[in-house]
Amino acid sequence: MGAVMGTFSSLQTKQRRPSKDIAWWYYQYQRDKIEDELEMTMVCHRPEGLEQLEAQTNFTKRELQVLYRGFKNECPSGVVNEETFKQIYAQFFPHGDASMYAHYLFHTFDTTQTGSVKFEDFVTALSILLRGTVHEKLRWTFNLYDINKDGYINKEEMMDIVKAIYDMMGKYTYPVLKEDTPRQHVDVFFQKMDKNKDGIVTLDEFLESCQEDDNIMRSLQLFQNVM
């Protein structure tokens, strides 16, 4: 490669020969083509066109390129499975146990329930959580709490998510939490959300409760901070 570049550089100081220039550019084209083919043999999944993702998300094309580069560094195959997702997530919370929260988060990212998360899945969720409207963020959060995906949240599901968040934050939370703190929080929030007292929270109840109660909204910020 150095020899080729040296030859090309020397051509700039001499009378230009079109045939030489064409040969160099053809070499560049072939080299890039070979690199792309090698990459294709290593990557199992390539994302949709960046233009399409740009239209579907709140990210610019440049931001998508940066995000994809980072995603591919962590997941060279182009997809991430749950075990790898847990390992990556655990690095950000070394003082706690992030495994259960990562489990719930992974299955919310995995919208097609295939057992793997593609770049498109990841960046679509990230777009909502970082730059979506309040309504979009709340709908996504509802889906996280709806563990069994039946369209409702029961108290056990809410407790599972809240406990997973506290476990992930670990013993270094301040002030130090009592063991029954997650249960107390869930009891209060669920009572407020379950407006018709039927033991389940619908999406409409969730949206209405969150948007009319500042305490609930502030508590939900904890989720976005650990995202």
How much is the pTM?
Answer: 0.72
Bridge partners, 118 (sequence order): 79
The reported pLDDT for the residue numbered 220 is 67
SS3 assignment, position 224? helix
The reported pLDDT for the residue numbered 38 is 44
| Helix (H), strand (E) at residue 81 | strand 79-81
Mark out the alpha helices in 43-118 (DSSP H runs).
Answer: 50-56, 61-74, 82-90, 99-109
What is the rounded CA–CA span in Å between residue 72 and residue 119? 9
Are 192 and 216 spatial neighbours (Cβ–Cβ below 8 Å)? yes
Closest CA to 121 of 71, 66, 187, 63: 71
The reported pLDDT for the residue numbered 80 is 92
Q: What is the pLDDT along the chain (227 residues), one digit of tens a residue?
A: 433 233 333 434 444 444 444 444 444 545 554 444 444 444 455 566 788 999 999 999 999 999 998 888 888 888 999 999 999 888 888 888 999 999 999 999 998 889 999 999 999 999 998 899 989 999 999 999 999 999 999 999 999 999 998 888 876 554 555 667 788 889 998 999 999 999 999 999 999 999 888 877 776 665 555 55
CB count within 10 Å of CB 24 equals: 14
SS3 assignment, position 116? strand
The reported pLDDT for the residue numbered 218 is 74
If phi over 0 gives left and psi between -120 and 50 gives alpha, with beta otherwise, what is residue 165?
A: alpha
The reported pLDDT for the residue numbered 7 is 33
